[in-house]
Amino acid sequence: MQAPLRYVAIGDSLSEGVGDDPWPDGTPRGWADRLAGRLAEQYGPDRQVEYANLAVRGLKAAQVRDTQLANAVAMEPDVVTLTAGMNDILRSRVDFEALRAALVGLVAPLTARGARVVIVPIPDVRRVSPVGGMLNARRLRLNDIYRELARHHGMEPVTDTAGTVFEDPRAWADDRLHLSPLGHQRLALAAAAGLGVPVDADALSPPDGDPPRRTVRAETTWVWQHVAPWVGRRLRGTSSGDGRTAKRPTLERFDSP
């Protein structure tokens, strides 16, 4: 039997799994857990998959680097998935040079040790949320940094999300910031495809039918239930990740569900 495939997920709420259906113990499942299951299914009994998830919601890229990188490197992973940068561009001000340095500092030590690093680009969410339009220039700039990481620091090529399911409101949770179960499922498939695992050809296609229309009532509900609490945390200087720890802090065997 081959040595186990070591997979480590690092990052923020997206990698933690916020927005997806929970496991029976209440822990969010998420696309990274789904990807681990897909890898276990692909390799079958010939090669075990060991999986750790160090991600914690609310963290900016430098915080991911400072709190998760050393542990990830120590696990000697074969595959690392990374989500970082979205929380940076959501802030009122963004230092893109500092953000770029933080991301290079995350990716370079992992690729230098032979890990395959997959990063999740930020899709165009202007159809999903009014915030999408305000963030679009920042999103494009962040994705340019991701592509630089692929060109110069050994990261896997960045997936093109234009015209995919990730621009469809049905791929997003009610808060329009995190993926829905559909979005998590499709992101796991996209990441698997990037790692050479066979997936259905239409894995990134939007679902059939028209997405729900945005109404005044829906927009008002969204503002009060999701935007206002987020603004409140920013004003108080708190984060949704305060007091939280990684859901899978050590490498453990992960079998296909």
pLDDT in tens, 71-98: 999 999 999 999 999 999 988 899 999 9
* pLDDT exceeds cutoff 80 at 22: yes
pLDDT of amino acid 228? 47
Residue 140's H or E segment, with its range, is helix 130-152
pLDDT in tens, 177-210: 889 999 999 999 999 999 999 998 788 898 887 7
Structural domain boundaries of the chain? 5-253
Mean pLDDT on 91-109 = 96
pLDDT in tens, 31-48: 999 999 999 999 888 889
pLDDT of amino acid 234? 55
pLDDT in tens, 222-251: 455 655 455 566 556 665 656 789 999 999
pLDDT of amino acid 211? 72
pLDDT of amino acid 202? 83
Residue 216's H or E segment, with its range, is helix 216-222
Give, in words, the CATH class of 5-253: alpha beta
pLDDT in tens, 131-177: 778 889 999 999 999 999 999 999 999 999 989 999 999 998 888 78
Q: Phi and psi of 62, rounded to 5°?
A: -65, -35
Higher pLDDT, 58 or 239: 58
Contact call for residues 48 and 4 (beta carbons, < 8 A): yes
Residues in the chain: 257
Pairing of strands 49-53, 248-253: antiparallel
